[in-house]
Amino acid sequence: MEPTPHIAVVDDHREIRELLVRYLGQHGYRVSAAGSAAEFRAQMERGEVPDLAVLDIMMPGEDGLSLCRHLRSTSPLPVIFLTAMAEDTERIVGLELGADDYLVKPFNPRELLARIRAVLRRSSGGATKEEPLAKGSSVKFGDKVFDMTRHEVTGPDGVAVPLSTAEYRLLCVFLEHAGKVLSRDSLLDLTSGREAEVWDRSIDNQVSRLRRKIEEDPKNPMLIKTYWGDGYCFTGKVTPA
């Protein structure tokens, strides 16, 4: 029997915390709640590590963006943002920090449930079936080694660079389709299972973030080429490590 997925809800609004604890619990999840980033950090330090965190962006004290930045530097924990603002800027910043998805308040709990299921499916064993590369332990492209078990890319200097869940998923798609130009819509569908919205820049931001981790010169990329009007193409040679 597989363990019950643990979802952490971090939001300073008690009503939202109580709603999600009750609703997600009714749908088979183990749910913990925290009213602040500090409280969530304390839970993590006690060993209460969730399978996914739902973070409110606007919170007193440390906000969700800062907390996400900390998580991305220490773990591959999937993150879904809740934001009360519909402006693109806040959502783009969240995605650039490595969030896997976002939802604008007020939201329908059923939609959040669907997004949680999708993110967990992609970041767990279910994603492995959709990502043949993940069956192996590591692959090589250029002078770098991609460890698919540890979600890390190691360069010739021996320094391992951790990837967020979104970056890992995007790199897997690129490596599986090396040499093929993929449109933004295709990349969004393959990595997130959703269609692009008008002016959706999430893929561009994710590509930019991934380039900073695997390219020698992100401003003059040699591995992930841009094909204006068409999309992106991974041009590196992929071989078993």
Contact 10, 31 (CB under 8 A): no
Write the CA distances from 176 to 88, 119, 133, 239, integer angstroms.
30, 20, 7, 11
Query: For residues 50 and 4, what is the distance between their CA atoms, to the nearest angstrom?
Result: 11
- Report pLDDT digits (tens) over 147-203: 988 899 999 999 999 999 889 989 998 998 888 888 887 788 778 654 444 334 678
| Mean pLDDT calculated for residue range 192-216 | 75
Predicted confidence (pLDDT) at residue 135 exceeds the cutoff of 70 = no
Contact 179, 189 (CB under 8 A): no
Q: What's residue 101's pLDDT?
A: 85
- Report pLDDT digits (tens) over 92-123: 666 677 788 888 888 899 989 988 988 887 77
Q: What's residue 61's pLDDT?
A: 93
| Mean pLDDT calculated for residue range 32-49 | 94
Query: pTM surpassing 0.75?
Result: no
The 3 state secondary structure assigned to the chain is: CCCCCEEEEECCCHHHHHHHHHHHHHCCCEEEEECCHHHHHHHHHCCCCCCEEEEECCCCCCCHHHHHHHHHHHCCCCEEEEECCCCHHHHHHHHHCCCCEEEECCCCHHHHHHHHHHHHHHHCHHHHHHCHHHHCCEEEECCEEEECCCCEEECCCCCEEECCHHHHHHHHHHHHCCCCEECHHHHHHHHHCCCCCCCCCHHHHHHHHHHHHHCCCCCCCCCEEEECCCEEEECCCEEEC
Q: What's residue 127's pLDDT?
A: 37
Q: What's residue 207's pLDDT?
A: 93
Predicted confidence (pLDDT) at residue 132 exceeds the cutoff of 60 = no
Q: What's residue 141's pLDDT?
A: 92
- Report pLDDT digits (tens) over 44-93: 999 899 999 999 999 999 999 999 988 888 888 899 999 876 556 666 66
| Domains located in the chain, CATH noted | 6-123 (3.40.50.2300), 128-240 (1.10.10.10)
| Mean pLDDT calculated for residue range 208-214 | 95
